[in-house]
Amino acid sequence: MATTKVSIKWLHNLIKINGWNIHTEFTAEAIESFWTFTENCKIYCSLFCIGMAYRTNLITLCFRQYSTSAKRSPKELRDKSIRDRFLRVDHAGEVGADRIYAGQMAVLGKTNVANVIQHMWDQEKEHKKKFDELLPRYRTRPTVLLPIWNVAGFVLGAGTALLGPKMAMACTVAVETVITDHYNDQIRELMNNPEVNGELLEIISKFRDEEMEHHDTAILHEAEKAPLYQAVSQIVKIGCKGAIWLSNKI
């Protein structure tokens, strides 16, 4: 309103200077109406511009220079997508492994294999912790199936342990075989771009070696002497591969 008054005064002065014969009250009303009209026009024009900018993706184009993802080349985007997938599935795998050993320890925690299982469990905790840290750093989301792998891992570990230490070791051999192969596949793919994937290559290679060590430890603890070893091993392997496939997807 203050602006309106200034405008009216300015127009009155203009009328006086030029000697125009215009009724003052009429002019004030006219100015008032005109001012309201222009105010409305400003709002409508702004809305129209925003609408047009949205329609023509102008906003996206304007902000593109400030967006890190939009600046990435197709190759960089592809690399990021691969890393996201790897981190998500590895994190899911380590959560599952942590729960498997937790289940085994819940049943066999007071037997002569407790120390061996505890050592492997401690390493799995470290693996999980590392992926917990990497996920936010690489801006990767975890799999939505995490709650399921939490329960399924514990049930698998405790269930096989209830059938005896050899069956628990048979489960370990099957799981670690699939995980080692899975990590080897990832290492091969990451080696396509070792400069960019240096950190992941180092971490996954170290974990792969430790998973292989778990496999060998379980073999040393007579996993192959478990009843129905081949059948149980195949079932666990199929389950693990299914979990990897699902965690890759969602």
Binding site for Fe ion (CB under 5 A): 94, 97, 124, 127, 211, 214
d(CA 50, CA 52): 6
Question: In which element (H, E) is residue 97 found?
Answer: helix 74-108
Instruction: State in angstroms the smallest separation of the CB of 228 from Fe ion.
Output: 23
To Fe ion, the closest distance from the beta carbon of 207 in angstroms equals 5
> How many Cα atoms sit within 13 Å of 36 on the Cβ side?
5
Measured from the CB atom, is 99 or 214 closer to Fe ion?
Answer: 214
> Shortest gap between Cβ of 180 and Fe ion (angstroms)?
9
Contact 72, 147 (CB under 8 A): no
Taking the complex as a whole, how short is the minimal distance between the CB of residue 212 and Fe ion, in angstroms?
A: 9
d(CA 94, CA 80): 21
Q: Which is nearer to Fe ion, 8 or 93 (CB)?
A: 93
Distance CA 77, CA 207 (A): 26
Residue 192 beta carbon to Fe ion: minimum distance, rounded to whole angstroms: 24
Residue 214 CB, shortest distance to Fe ion, in Å, is 4
Of residues 64 and 129, the one with the C-beta less far from Fe ion = 129
Return d(Cα 232, Cα 227) in angstroms, integer. 9
Backbone phi, then psi, for 130, in 5-degree steps?
A: -65, -45
If the CB atoms of residues 11 and 217 are measured against Fe ion, the closer one turns out to be 217
Q: Which region, left, alpha or beta, applies to residue 19 given φ > 0 means left and ψ of -120 to 50 means alpha?
A: left
CA distance 76 to 73: 5
SS (H, E, C) 152-192: HHHHHHHHHHHCCHHHHHHHHHHHHHHHHHHHHHHHHHHCC
Question: Whole-angstrom Cα distance, residue 3 to residue 38?
Answer: 12
Shortest Å, Cβ 53 to Fe ion: 50
CB atoms within 10 A of CB 20: 10
Q: Is the Cβ of residue 11 or residue 182 nearer to Fe ion in the bound state?
A: 182
In this complex, which beta carbon is closest to Fe ion, that of residue 83 or of residue 99?
99
For Fe ion, the closer of residues 101 and 229 by Cβ is: 101
